[in-house]
Structure 1
């Protein structure tokens, strides 16, 4: 059985996107990027909502750009190799190494967790909120940048109460603090 992890970069005040709707952080620098590379290397399955999948699709071909760094090329390789499931009712097709789920999402998510060995990454705030309501998330990882967004899209969906227990914290490059939590129940 897999272990589902919801992890996102967040501001100190808990937002994954600024008020303008876009990430307020530029891409991570080399050391933090390499940390994320290792995380991606160890992911057995990525599950995306439509919007997050469309953002991440850049990695499908990014490694063909001769101007990118070796650590970006490495991430692209790991991302391309990781199987992906995209949850969407609006997409009609997805790219390489991905499959689309449009119906009975909760049953599909439970089946994916049951049939996957290793860590499963779920990305997209709305999708993660649904997984949380269904009791499917095993770990929440907040990669907290030392900045305040002042508003925007929150890491945790409004109106979805959670009792959590701390699993630990770690200081990462770029003064990012990783906070890890599990559901308390």
Structure 2
């Protein structure tokens, strides 16, 4: 059965964005970008909160129209437009590019979505990830730890009464210093 995989870039001190939604500290080079293309291409869909969706939708639908776009950028633009997406938001009225807006995270609906998926579902966004974690809906964690200290901003994991033993099932260091840490629940390994 497909899994729900929390996939996020994070600073060494645990932030997914600096104040003002700044992502300038991310170290995305061609190697990491190609890895993301290959990873997202195999997914059955993307699940996110409004802010992640709006950030992606502000750039990716037309990124390949830029004559200076790199081949990996052109490739990802097509992947992003085509992949099914669910955005969890109480305020977003509509979304384009193969996207469905859902108002609430309902465990039964998420499980049905997972069962119908053609591959794992990638989850992104702090608030929606916190809700998925609270409801026990995250099966795997793929954190891309960037060699940066941000100090303030949006934390990946909210403070919550969530405790779960995890096993490290993969690690990979990219040439730019970003480290992929893939964890699964200890009971699942």
In the TM superposition, residue 68 of structure 1 has moved relative to its aligned partner by 1.0
Equivalent residue for 1:173?
175
Q: CA RMSD in A?
A: 1.7
Equivalent residue for 2:66?
65
In the TM superposition, residue 106 of structure 1 has moved relative to its aligned partner by 3.0
Deviation per residue, 1:22-67 (Å, 9 max, x gap): 2242561111111111111111111111111000112112112222
Equivalent residue for 2:91?
90
Distance in structure 1 (CA, Å) of the matches to 2:122 and 2:85? 9
Within a 5 Å distance, the mapping from 1:14-93 to structure 2 comes to 14-26=14-26, 28-57=28-57, 58-93=59-94
Deviation per residue, 1:115-173 (Å, 9 max, x gap): 11311001111101111111111111110111111222111111242322222211123
Number of residues paired by the alignment?
Answer: 185
Distance in structure 1 (CA, Å) of the matches to 2:81 and 2:175? 25
Further displaced range: 124-133 or 104-113 = 104-113
Unaligned runs of 5+ in 1: none
Question: If the length of structure 1 is used for normalisation, what is the TM-score?
Answer: 0.92
Q: In structure 1, the residue corresponding to 2:21 is in which secondary structure?
A: coil
Q: In structure 1, the residue corresponding to 2:55 is in which secondary structure?
A: helix
Q: In structure 1, the residue corresponding to 2:87 is in which secondary structure?
A: strand
Q: In structure 2, the residue corresponding to 1:175 is in which secondary structure?
A: coil
Unaligned runs of 5+ in 2: none
